[in-house]
Structure 1
Amino acid sequence: MSRTGILVASLAVIMLASTVGPAFAAQMEFRTWVEPGATDEVEIKFQRTVIINYDQGGMLADELRGQKFAKTFTVTSTDPGVNELRDRINYQISQLGSSAAITDVQIDYDTKLTGRGLNTSIDYKIILTMSITNHVLRESSGGNSGLVDMNWRGLAVPDEVTVNAKGIPHEINLPISFIADVAPGLHSAILGSEAETLLNAPIMDASGIKAQPLGNWHFLFDPTGINVDASQYGMYDELAGVVWSSYTMGESSLREGIQTEKEFAASFTTDTTYDLRTIESADAANIFFAGFSNIDVLDNTEVVGVYPEAPEGFATTSTGQFPVMIIYGMAGMAGIGGIAVFIVSEKKRKGDIKAGNVQTGIDPSQLVGADTSTGSGGYKTNRGEAHLKSDDYEHHRSVYDENPQVEQKTEPAPAEETKTEPAPAEETKTEPAPAEETKSDDSASDRGSMPKGWSPE
């Protein structure tokens, strides 16, 4: 039982680890070639939804129903506000103990308010696309791995962030700013309430990505670039001969725990009380390194060691440099899952047998076939059915066997026509009728000729 429990638990871990949320509060994508002095690209997407409920109606409900407002624009480093944001991000990175620096920023802003019958939703989305440098601390050489600084990944921008789009200033970091622009009545009702505090929480906050140690992230690598098929079917020169290592954060697992939505609630009162909620999904991130990588900590700084080739201890195959131990590990995980499923299903089967809930079926050797159809004209269709040798086939005979009986019952029809032939005999029996009529005439004449009162005596 203890072994069975271990196998079942392992299967549960595998299934749980594959569960990933469909949307994220802060989602980061980063890819690096691990080259000193190189500039790589980082994309961080921030999302949040605010919902105002007015099930009981009210003046705000009448004002918001059917309303639709949207604000969408893109700004680059040509705007002074974007450059100010870049400098603030660099300051936050330095506070995290990282030597990395942001050199360029692009902002894509998209926010919409939609008023419905029972609630109003406001969806915020900000995408920061940044160029980062100085994150590669050391290039790989000899038997030493390259080092990549990853302490910068938890950047957060507090307070207001104002940028200019088409000459118009827009504050983008605080949710309440958009409400003040498009729904002044709602903004006035929120001021001074606990809902105002909730709506002043900055949107650009990726601190949850930094809070999760890299050692807890899910690690995978893609050996496509070193596979012999890569050269056979063609591949970009920059990808050929390269293995990509990846780390994923945001999945539910025993290491990271169950990832849940971040939901906060507050209320405010004007003519009536209104409920307000903010909803964000769990933070998530994907980072990729060109080479084989591992996690290390140097002076309280999380770094990733990256080898351009497989380190010593990794086996190779004829297909290239794909690590055999990884293949065995993946096969072992699949085998453990299969064994666990087999044990559970076998236990259930035995339990069903003891309870008498299993249908074992019929031994084919105890069955015999019987024809149920004959040919018609020059065409013959072979049909049949099976029944037990020990059973009386007459009790289960197919309806097809009744057709010959119906045809036999129709054969006596000519005999019925023969029975109609005695009709002339009945006519012969009617011939004596004239004799009876003659006798009656004679007696009548005799009686008529006798004298009145005469008696034969």
Structure 2
Amino acid sequence: MSPILNQAEPVFTANRFITLQFDPTSELGKKLATVDESVRFKANASTPGMAELISGINQDIFTEKQSPISIENATVDYTGTMKGSSDRLSVSYKVVFTPSISGFTLPSNTSESAGALVDLDWRGFHTSRPLELQVPDIGNMSINYPLSLLQVQFPELAQQLNSSEANEIFQTPLFNFEDIAVPMDRWHFLFDPTGSQASTAGSGYQELGGSRVVSIFSLGESSFREGVMEAKESDASAVIDGTNVEVHASHPPPSGQIQIGGFATVTKSGNSEVAFVTENAPEGTSTATGGFPLQVLLILAGMMAAVSVFVLWKARK
């Protein structure tokens, strides 16, 4: 993200895995064993419901985070799959939300050459809105509630789950990025004066507003200093067509990366965090925290495809 451009395209990816386990000899087991279904679609500004989706998330970010940023446009890439076997139905969700934002560079009394203040609070937004879109050949679908996928493919199954104690699992929003709202002092920090290390690591670095200097904050590697990043799991029971079903949901540990053009130092005021960004680092500044080596960038770059949340800031071209 570039304080100069004051525009960016963060990428949020939400993953969820839900398993329904049942007696393989039951009628339900026989019906679900052969299931192999998927729902995939992309949505953009022309998709009915996208304007309301963007407006709702903007309201939630302002209400929850008091952040001045504004989402001006967005795309959604939704993938939901259902795979049956002899004793279980595995359901997986991957929703990639890419908003175009502006307004994260805050007003300051200092001159532009002295540095800029960048809002960081909104990174961990969440919303409990259904976020419904009108999808061709599918109809009205919530991209935020897991139950919606089953309502599209197996409405009777969805209705029974919705009437059981497993309802909470299937109504838990996918768009919950609160885990990456952990304080920035739990993120690894690397200052790269040339951008060469980030480029070599394949972390997605590109020049930000013409700046080759980059500050990189990464979350996801557990350590004594940063703590342990743990998966979230929950369990519930249901009775479907007279068969007892055990429902298990898992949400992988959070992982993310923020790249800021310039040298960034994070300041906390109350519950808010902002980055003060200058063109270059003060003399004698440490380039990393917590023994953060280049190898960590390589590891984190490889982790991004499999983690629950991936945030990569990049300037709008």
Tell me the TM-score normalized by structure 2.
0.80
**Helix, strand or coil: the match of 1:252?**
coil
Report the counterpart of residue 280 of structure 1 in structure 2. Answer: 251
Q: Counterparts of 1:211-360 in structure 2 under 5 Å?
A: 212-225=182-195, 242-270=212-240, 271-298=242-269, 300-311=271-282, 313-314=283-284, 326=287
Report the counterpart of residue 4 of structure 2 in structure 1. Answer: 35
Distance 1:61 1:291, change over 3 A: same
User: 1:296–1:302: 8 Å Cα contact kept in structure 2?
Assistant: yes
Report the counterpart of residue 127 of structure 1 in structure 2. Answer: 96
Task: Provide the rounded CA distance (Å) in 1 between the counterparts of 2:207 and 2:152.
Answer: 50
Q: Counterparts of 1:41-440 in structure 2 under 5 Å?
A: 41-95=9-63, 96-138=65-107, 141=111, 144-166=114-136, 168-210=139-181, 212-225=182-195, 242-270=212-240, 271-298=242-269, 300-311=271-282, 313-314=283-284, 326=287
User: 2:19–2:249: 8 Å Cα contact kept in structure 1?
Assistant: yes
User: 1:226–1:241: 8 Å Cα contact kept in structure 2?
Assistant: no
Task: Provide the rounded CA distance (Å) in 1 between the counterparts of 2:25 and 2:226.
Answer: 42
**Helix, strand or coil: the match of 1:224?**
coil
Task: Provide the rounded CA distance (Å) in 2 between the counterparts of 1:93 and 1:181.
Answer: 29
How many positions carry a matched residue from both structures? 280
- Stretch deviating more after TM superposition (115-124 or 180-189): 180-189
Shift >4 Å, 4+ stretches = 236-241
Task: Provide the rounded CA distance (Å) in 2 between the counterparts of 1:136 and 1:226.
Answer: 25
Report the residue type matching 2:185 in the other structure. Answer: G
Report the residue type matching 2:59 in the other structure. Answer: Y
Deviation at 1:126, TM superposition (A): 0.6
Deviation at 1:74, TM superposition (A): 0.5
Tell me the TM-score normalized by structure 1.
0.57
Task: Provide the rounded CA distance (Å) in 1 between the counterparts of 2:142 and 2:211.
Answer: 46
Distance 1:42 1:226, change over 3 A: closer
Whose RCO is larger (CA < 8 A, sep 6+)?
A: 2
User: 2:207–2:261: 8 Å Cα contact kept in structure 1?
Assistant: no
**Helix, strand or coil: the match of 2:228?**
coil
Report the residue type matching 1:50 in the other structure. Answer: I
User: 1:73–1:110: 8 Å Cα contact kept in structure 2?
Assistant: yes
Deviation at 1:250, TM superposition (A): 2.1
Deviation at 1:272, TM superposition (A): 2.7
Report the residue type matching 2:280 in the other structure. Answer: E
Deviation at 1:238, TM superposition (A): 6.7
Report the residue type matching 1:246 in the other structure. Answer: I
Greater helix fraction, Structure 1 or Structure 2:
1
User: 1:83–1:105: 8 Å Cα contact kept in structure 2?
Assistant: no
Distance 1:289 1:138, change over 3 A: farther
Greater strand fraction, Structure 1 or Structure 2:
2
Distance 1:188 1:80, change over 3 A: closer
Report the residue type matching 1:99 in the other structure. Answer: P
Deviation at 1:169, TM superposition (A): 2.2
Distance 1:240 1:136, change over 3 A: closer
